[in-house]
Amino acid sequence: MATPLIVSEVAKAFTMHLRDGIRLPVVANVSFSVRAGECAVLGGPSGAGKSSILKMVYGNYGVDQGQIIVDHHGQLVDLATANPRTVLSVRRDTIGYVSQFLRTVPRVSALDVVAEPLVARGTDRKQAQERAAELLDRLNLPERLWSLPPATFSGGEQQRVNIARGFITDHPVLLLDEPTASLDATNREVVISLIEEKKLKGVALLGIFHDADVREAVADRIVDVTEFAAGKAAA
């Protein structure tokens, strides 16, 4: 399918039960789609709901209304209503995610953290580790760090582990939550070229980039999130 991700009339609010049930609307009427081979960027100021949209697409946040349709194994799945098992299957094979922060696991080496998504899909561990090594090398992570758990790494080193982990698979949809936030110029360039390669392979990318240089380099289209402000839709 040429449009592997379609978001349609999605709304989200948080209800804070510990604060007398106060309701915080986040976004409403979110509608856009991402075509294969393009990088759509969510634009708008902090607090507009960019990360929330990304998290809903990944199934990490619940969806109050609307549909998030993804082409999964040739079938259309609505992530807004899919059961946990389906969401896990979509994450394994269809939607990849590079978050801002790495959730580290004690005692697992950086190399294995990166290789894991491939191993989970049945790739031989050794092959997966080789592929992980290539990516870490490309992202200039010193080889002496590869066998260490990333918990003690610097912010930029952890982020590169995270990026390698997100880019190692060939998921047809890839979500990027500020992947370049704490990188130096050299490594930002590496990420830009990794994104270009994904586009050439027909991957649909949806990202948040605060860094204007990176955004201009990779974005084919800006999706203005302020259009989905919860108050606006109600009016």
Partner 1 sequence: MTDEPLLRVTALSKYYGSRIGCEDISFDLWPGEVLAIVGESGSGKTTLLNCLSTRLLPTSGTASYRMRDNQWRDLYRMSEAERRFLMRTDWGFVHQNPADGLRMTVSAGANVGERLMAIGDRHYGNIRATAVDWLGRVEIDEERIDDEPRAFSGGMRQRLQIARNLVTGPRLVFMDEPTGGLDVSVQARLLDLLRGLVTDLGLAAIVVTHDLAVARLLSQRMMVMKDGHVVEAGLTDRVLDDPRAPYTQLLVSSILQV
Residues forming contacts to partner 1 in the complex (CB under 8 A) are 14-18, 55, 59-62, 84-85, 87-88, 105-108
Minimum Å gap between C-beta 214 and partner 1 is: 26
Minimum Å gap between C-beta 193 and partner 1 is: 30
CB 199 within 8 A of CB 37: yes
Name the CA radius of gyration of the chain, rounded. 18
CB 57 within 8 A of CB 95: yes
Instruction: Decide whether 2 or 24 has the Cβ nearer to partner 1.
Output: 24
Q: For residues 79 and 227, give the distance between their C-alpha atoms in angstroms, rounded to a whole number.
A: 22
Instruction: Decide whether 55 or 198 has the Cβ nearer to partner 1.
Output: 55
Beta strands 39-43; 204-208: pairing state: parallel
Instruction: Decide whether 48 or 218 has the Cβ nearer to partner 1.
Output: 48
Backbone torsions φ then ψ of 191, nearest 5 degrees: -65, -40
Instruction: Decide whether 85 or 126 has the Cβ nearer to partner 1.
Output: 85
Minimum Å gap between C-beta 108 and partner 1 is: 7
**Nearest alpha-carbon partner for 146 in 99, 114, 172, 118:** 114
Minimum Å gap between C-beta 19 and partner 1 is: 9
